[in-house]
Amino acid sequence: MTDHHEAIAHLLLKQAIEEFLYHEVELLDERRYEEWLELLADDVRYWMPMRRNVRFGELEREFTREGLDINWFDEGKDTLTRRVQQILTGVHWAEEPLSRICHMISNIQLLHVRPPVPEPVEVAVKCRFLIYRNRVQTETDILVGKREDVLRQVNGQWKVTQRKVILDQNVLLAKNLTFFF
Amino acid sequence: MSGIINLRLLEPGTTISLSDGSTAEVVSNPLDGVWVFARYLSSPNDSSVVGTEEMIFAQNIVEILNTP
Amino acid sequence: MAASGNGGYQHGLVDMATGQVSREIFVNEDIYQEELERVFTRAWLFVGHESQIPKPGDYFVSSMGEESVLLCRDREEAIHVFLNSCRHRGMKVCRYDEGNTPVFTCPYHGWSYAADGQLVGVPYFKEAYHGKLDKSQWGLVEVAQLCNYKGTIWATWDASAPPFLEYLGDFKLYLDLSLDAWDGREGGTEVLGGIQKWLIPCNWKFPAENFSGDSYHNISHRSVDLVGIGPSGTGRRDMQERQMARRVQICFPERGHQTGVYLLPKDQPTPLAYQHSPVVSEYFRHCEEERRRRRGEWGRLTGSPGEIFPNTALHPRQPRTIAVWHPRGAHQTEVWRWYLVDQEAPPEVKDFLRQYYIRYSGPGGLTEQDDMENWNYAHAASRGTIARRYPYSYEQGMGFEVQNFAWDGLQLPGVVMDITEAKSSEHNLRNLYRRWAAFMEAESWDELAAWRRPEPAKRTNGQSDRS
């Protein structure tokens, strides 16, 4: 592949990945939770560490550890499915009435592409998110941070196999996390 | 002259000169950027402090003499 | 006394004759300020766990009431709790969450304190202070009393408060349900890494009363029971033993602590639990056999949510967690949650429990989320001028309390309400507020430690119970 062709292929891949990510949050914002679950691989890992204030030089202790410590989330498709089912009961009071929510995704970067273009099977993506959540009358949360995702081709479609949510907060400033990142 | 020193960078074994003319060797570093624990090597004013350990304040350190 | 209306706290705002409590105590900002003084400076508060500070120099920044404190271990391995504020000009001497340090140095003027609280570093001590500052008088402010009970660290600012075990009284039996190992050996618990901290928009007493024994709100958790996050795959926790146990609520009026428990019949083995994992299920079965053997009749007792006055909540089993409801103004609470496991449990057991805890409790917990929604809007709807005129009803089960409760050969300490048939009672919640009102009016611990007075004691509330 010439450099030029490779650049074009990479651009097209990035476009496809961005469209996937925008489509994903479109489903969440539109409360199409069951369709959203279908975009997750069956073996998906979804976790959100907590963050500590630590001394300069000890930053390896800043985040709680996946699989070892208490995190805000640290789960697979089964628990995520139950979260969706809970909302759909219509009696999950923390999410009833339903929140109004808007996910904004930006700063999308492809960190690795395997194998290289033109036909990758797995892509690591980093982005930033700003989630605006408003519920009942005036209750508003704005959560901002980064996401590190791994997407994999499954039967010709991209699916999320890993999601690490890096929220830029220490004490959580929201009363609950009834929504998805 | 060492200029302004970031005390976090002083490793044990570093020798320093102090504003009262003493010299000392860093024993341990609490990494707060404000203090080091050091042992006096020499003192023009009071020879009895030689060999004793004290907390040395950043603004009392004049110069790094030797690094380990 | 601020805004206490007619009759003060014990006979006005908190009226145990009718079982009614004024909304003012939750939303009134003057009452909140008084509470900081009368409750939080005098009671014993949970600060952390020794497993968080295993080595000399280790520290964990915690909170007592509204204030930031340092839980640390000094060079001689003694544990301390200090106010996180430089004695010179107040700057926090530590703005990290946890770590290890030989000294706490203030960034403002450089004063430095050893882990035993002593002021050891004063810049220009010889020059600017001419050697005259008496460093021994300017160490970090230390709590008046500290207690390490089976790894849990408790502290109080009040030197006249009874020692912790006396403060606990016979409630100790029930605290042990959270802190003893699954196999019945004493202690042996550790805290998982990662302390959850989050803000909720309600007064701290809403969660405090909930965990005291609000057996009535189960309906609010219908959605999590429907989807099933429990360790055997259904509901939100294992329930089999509860079908055959007496469900009991216990309170200690003189102490202000209360809890629910389950009491199995004599000779009834504990049903299986944690069925979603063969490893955990077998570990539990084995441990439970050992526990029953070690504890004899007392092994028939298993725990459910409880509260140590004022603001430490216990959940002894599924999940196993301690929460503190830190006051952050009348209208806000900062929750800190610790999760416990047996130190010696196999890694697969700890991991299974860890994942269960995460989906059950905290802001991401499918159960706790609904509790917080209720507390949020109960508080919000109580702030209005009209709303405040109408007290809350806490009269459920009044008059049906039992002293010297015994069942199938086991007598339980405390004042008991058997709710097996009744399904629910607000007896424990009344106890919390009765004790809260006493703290708000007592001038000293002489009044608060009624159990120290010889019988017949002068009681402020007419109760003749002893605990």
Residue-wise pLDDT for C324-337, tens only, equals 999 999 999 999 99
d(CA A115, CA C164) in angstroms, rounded, equals 63
**Within a domain: C108:** yes
Span A13-49, pLDDT tens digits: 999 999 999 999 999 999 999 999 999 999 999 999 9
Tell me the HSE value of C144 on the side-chain side, using a 13 A CA sphere. Answer: 14
Closest partner residue to C112 (CB to CB) among B31, B35, B59 is: B35
**Within a domain: C343:** yes
Q: What global pTM score does this model have?
A: 0.96
Mean pLDDT (whole number) for C214-219: 95
Tokens found for residue C191: 């805290």
Q: Give me the CATH number covering residue C415.
A: 3.90.380.10
Counted across chains A and C, CB pairs separated by less than 8 A come out at 128
C324: contact with A, CB 8 A cutoff? no
8 Å CB contact of C97 and A50: no
User: What pLDDT score does C462 carry?
Assistant: 46
CA nearest to C215, candidates C358, C422, C384: C422
Q: Which of residues 30-59 of A touch B (CB under 8 A)?
A: 55-57
> What is the pairing mode between strands C14-15 and C257-263?
unpaired
C-alpha distance across the termini of chain A, in Å: 37
User: What pLDDT score does B1 carry?
Assistant: 53
Span C88-98, pLDDT tens digits: 999 999 999 99
What ipTM score was computed for the predicted complex, to two decimals? Answer: 0.97
C105: contact with B, CB 8 A cutoff? yes
d(CA C271, CA B48) in angstroms, rounded, equals 74
Residue C28, C-beta contacts closer than 8 angstroms, at least 6 positions apart: C2, C3, C330, C388
Q: Are residues C204 and C317 in the same domain?
A: yes
Q: Which domain holds residue C318?
A: 167-447
What CATH architecture applies to the domain B7-66?
Answer: Roll (2.30)
Number of continuous H segments (helices) and E segments (strands) in chain C: 12, 24
Q: Are residues C239 and C92 in the same domain?
A: no
Q: Are residues C176 and C55 in the same domain?
A: no
Residue C456, C-beta contacts closer than 8 angstroms, at least 6 positions apart: C464
Secondary structure class of C82 (helix, strand, coil): strand
Residue C466 has pLDDT above 70, yes or no: no
Closest partner residue to C358 (CB to CB) among A74, A91, A136 is: A74
Cis peptide before C456 (omega within 30 of 0): yes
Domain boundaries, chain B: 7-66
**Nearest CA-CA distance, residue A58 and chain B, Å:** 11
- Asked if A133 and A29 touch (Cβ cutoff 8 Å), the reply is no
Secondary structure class of C136 (helix, strand, coil): helix
**Nearest CA-CA distance, residue A91 and chain B, Å:** 52
Residue C162, C-beta contacts closer than 8 angstroms, at least 6 positions apart: C445, C449, C452
- Specify the number of domains making up chain C: 2
Span C80-122, pLDDT tens digits: 999 999 999 999 999 999 999 999 999 999 999 999 999 999 9
**Within a domain: C280:** yes
**Within a domain: C152:** no
8 Å CB contact of C105 and B30: yes
> How far lies C51's CA from each of A23, C264, C364, C402, in Å?
45, 32, 25, 39
Q: What is the DSSP letter of C16?
A: T
Q: Give me the CATH number covering residue C61.
A: 2.102.10.10
Q: Are residues C250 and C388 in the same domain?
A: yes
Torsions phi, psi for B23 (to 5 deg) = -125, 155
8 Å CB contact of C102 and B34: no
User: What pLDDT score does C6 carry?
Assistant: 60
d(CA A29, CA A25) in angstroms, rounded, equals 6
Tokens found for residue A175: 């009363």
Angle of CA points C316, C320, C322, to nearest 5°: 85
User: What pLDDT score does C2 carry?
Assistant: 41
**Within a domain: C465:** no
CA nearest to C58, candidates C95, C92, C99: C99
8 Å CB contact of C112 and B58: no
**Within a domain: C326:** yes
Span C133-186, pLDDT tens digits: 999 999 999 999 999 999 999 999 999 999 999 999 999 999 999 999 999 999
Per 3-state DSSP, chain A is made up of helix, strand and coil in percentages (nearest 5) of 30, 40, 35
